[in-house]
Structure 1
């Protein structure tokens, strides 16, 4: 972490996380998080973290016990969120003192005031020409790389969230820059991904407070591609008002496992690893670099962060032609993540589609019906829509038991 946060221990961070999430949800008209009723123990510092060679068991709580119910999952989810913020992402601040929003044409201007400072950002809304207001909407992290014409045909609006304005991500020199850091200080622990997640929550606050926006804030999805796909996943994980999350070709820090990517790299493949990504940009908290040579000391992995979306809808879109994204790594991580939906008895609310033969962030025509199915189910209330989608056009030499050596409980 940077100056001002160096002496803040992991235990201190963990102690504030539940109260922060509770405050965030208490100031919104619909709850952003179910963490308010959960109590978290202190998290160990880096030096006390054990080595875990496989994907960490998402069903074992910090007390060492296997969870048994869906109610237990709510608090287990809070634990994973605390671990993700403490070790990987930095802290997502609580809801600020005041949020206002104003619609100017198709632009929603969101203003946020906290601790004597005020910032604002503008989100452009593209309305469909069909359907009926208030419209369901997909928030695009920096834009949407889905087939937006198809979304419009279904009566779904697209909202462009200005993530680079909220937190810069030009390169390693971008740390502490952007409107989030104008509000909370350049030395805040947040990396860009969690800063964007905070901004998306403020956008949703603004939509809830502005009926003139003609957006149904109870029917929202989020998407993004590549680095913005990482951000879409984090935003969907940390705000339960988002009904559908679609990270597209998000790779390392998104749908790919840190551990499996290291394994791919060791096998001679050109895969982005934790050791490399922390030198490239400022997506993560500065102290995440401690795990560069020891990803297996992370108490979580990306399957855990994907699991935070459960029991809401998640469709992971990946590209087998992009080895850099960790194609085998992503496939392995989603196998682990899917078990969380399976434990809830809603396996088909989790989708995975991995197709190659196209350029990065260019959605193939074959994946458009899959996106449409999830949109219809989660944003258009067509709850009987078939979303049993789990496929890859590549067969991987994969020892599943090597990475997933735990049993999936049936949560009551």
Structure 2
């Protein structure tokens, strides 16, 4: 029997089964240099919740206005993050006061201290052949992921046992594991957010290690089934993850929550909430009424944008809700498209084998391509949607909003606190300011380029690195040189900066990042 499948362009609805439409999409930015680059954005309360059977508009802010520029997405994402924590996951705390640990060729240790409480856990490491430093993929839970292909593609595998951080089989009022040792056994945060917090602490340690073995700027995450739910949460809530790859995540994972009650055989919300304390305690109010949620999982998909996202789903097992998953991916892809990064998302449910968490040949090539593109930076394959006709969702049935055309202008909201404070120049031209996060053996520099009274249509930033310092990676800019005197120029999507507005790029390096004095020239 011939399998039927659908390939869709992200601007289109799901086509009829068997049709083929070419996908032509755009740029591939790197991961952010920080866990949450919208931490300084104001996030108002939502007020009274009202029922809405359609998916919330990801472009509409809490105050009712819609975003108009790509740079507005940073603070809109912060709103979605807050809503998802408040109503679905529970709070994912920021980096604790102290995170220390070690990285070796066989493992990672993590030690955390916050408010006088301490906890420790560890993860395994398997290196690929060759000479490092290596990109790496965090494998949540250790099964269902094609680790052989990951390593053969040139990435290390970090085997993360999330149960050490948030244990399953515990009641909600007595949660156990490293997260709950720090934040209390009665914390209202669910296991998925706790697992995401643990993965972020692993990334902290990799960053602090200086990049001699594993590259902090080239990290991915994957996992299957309940660990696919966890991998999805890890990538959504930590912007340092360059590539997120959830596998067959089911209810409480990628699929839209509003779609689950109407999808035959899908795990009900009450079951997903009650099976394990995966979701935050507050979600109990929505298990019978998901239409009153002010946020849904297509917006959590959008939280990953514009970073790499490869969603793998199984249409043969009704419990896994692949139809709702395809709607979620299509909805989130509208944000990718609006940001000019539509080719950074891939969705694939066109598989022959119905076995849960199997290593599938259909996913092997796109897995290699995504690792090459987002972790190794050696490929540029466009994202593809291959939706099985068995579970093909229709986004038009779920939305009453349209995707806006976002301008390339600078931010319309204030930058986060703690960053550069130098005002833009009064006249034409541009200025550049820098903030540096230094650790032993390495650093990350974030540079803000600000326009004066006239718009920028291109910019160049020059600076001189300290003796012995070397750039290992950069994002949101092209660069010339890795040491000494170096230059950065804008990429296609951030060269246009409106008068009085700004854009940012960054780079990671080894050595010392102090003494940087960037100078900006308008082009």
Category of TM-score, reference length = shorter chain:
0.7 to 0.9
Tell me, which stretches of 5 or more residues in structure 1 are unaligned? 1-28
CA displacement at 1:149 relative to structure 2: 1.6
Instruction: Give the TM-score of the pair, scaled to structure 1.
Output: 0.87
**Residue 389 (structure 1) aligned to one of 374, 384, 387:** 384
Most deviating of 198-207 and 105-114 = 105-114
Retained in 2: the 8 A contact 1:374–1:387? no
The equivalent residue for 2:362 is 366
Aligned residues of 1:140 and 1:222 also touching (Cα < 8 A): yes
Contact 1:166 1:178 in 2 (8 A): yes
Q: Distance in 2 between matches of 1:172 and 1:356?
A: 38
Deviation at 1:174, TM superposition (A): 8.4
CA distance in 2, matches of 1:105, 1:150: 19
Matched, 1:37 2:36: no
Aligned to 1:270: 265
Stretches (4+) displaced over 6 A? none
Distance in 1 (alpha carbons) for counterparts of 2:401 and 2:294 = 15
C-alpha contact (below 8 Å) 1:112/1:118 kept by paired residues: yes
Contact 1:136 1:217 in 2 (8 A): yes
Unaligned runs of 5+ in 2: 1-31, 408-523
Whether 2:280 is the aligned partner of 1:285: answer: yes
Q: Distance in 2 between matches of 1:347 and 1:65?
A: 24
Question: Contact between 2:105 and 2:213, CA under 8 Å: does it hold in 1?
Answer: no
Task: Look up the match of 2:239.
Answer: 240
Q: Determine the structure 2 residue equivalent to 1:352.
A: 347
Worse-superposed segment, 395-404 or 180-189: 395-404
Equivalent position to 1:380, from 365, 373, 376? 376
Aligned residues, how many? 375
How far is 1:173 from its partner? 6.1
* Structure showing the higher strand proportion among its residues: 2
Q: Is the 8 A contact 2:128 2:152 kept in 1?
A: yes
| Distance in 2, Cα, partners of 1:304 & 1:185 | 29
The answer to whether 1:310 aligns with 2:309 is no
RMSD between aligned alpha carbons? 1.8
1:397 and 1:196 map into 2 onto residues whose CA distance is 30
Query: 1:164-313 counterparts in 2 under 5 A?
Result: 164-170=163-169, 172=171, 175-211=174-210, 214-264=213-263, 269-313=264-308
Partners of 1:30 and 1:388 in 2: how far apart? Answer: 23
Distance across 2 between alignment mates of 1:363 and 1:374: 16
Instruction: With the length of structure 2 as denominator, give the TM-score of the two structures.
Output: 0.69
What's the secondary structure of 2:346's corresponding residue? Answer: strand
Larger radius of gyration: 2
Deviation digits for residues 376-397 of structure 1 (CA, Å, limit 9, x no counterpart): 10001124x2133101232557
Confirm or deny that 1:333 pairs with 2:328: yes
Q: Residues 352-375 of structure 1: CA distance to partner in whole angstroms, max 9, x if unpaired?
A: 000242311113101100111111
For residues 213 and 113 of structure 1, do their structure 2 counterparts lie closer, same or farther at Cα, with a shift above 3 Å needed? farther
Note if contact 1:165-1:179 (Cα within 8 Å) is conserved in structure 2.
yes
Q: Which moved more, 1:58-67 or 1:207-216?
A: 207-216
Please say if residues 112 and 119 of structure 2, whose CA atoms lie closer than 8 Å, have aligned partners that are also in contact.
yes
Provide, for residues 210-240 of structure 1, a one-character-per-residue CA deviation record: whole Å limited to 9, x for no partner: 2376100110000111111111111111111
| Structure 2 counterpart SS, 1:392 | strand
1:174–1:282 CA contact under 8 A, matched in 2: no
Taking the TM superposition and a 5 Å limit, the aligned residue runs for 1:11-30 are: 30=33
CA 1:174–1:137: 2 relative to 1, 3 Å: farther
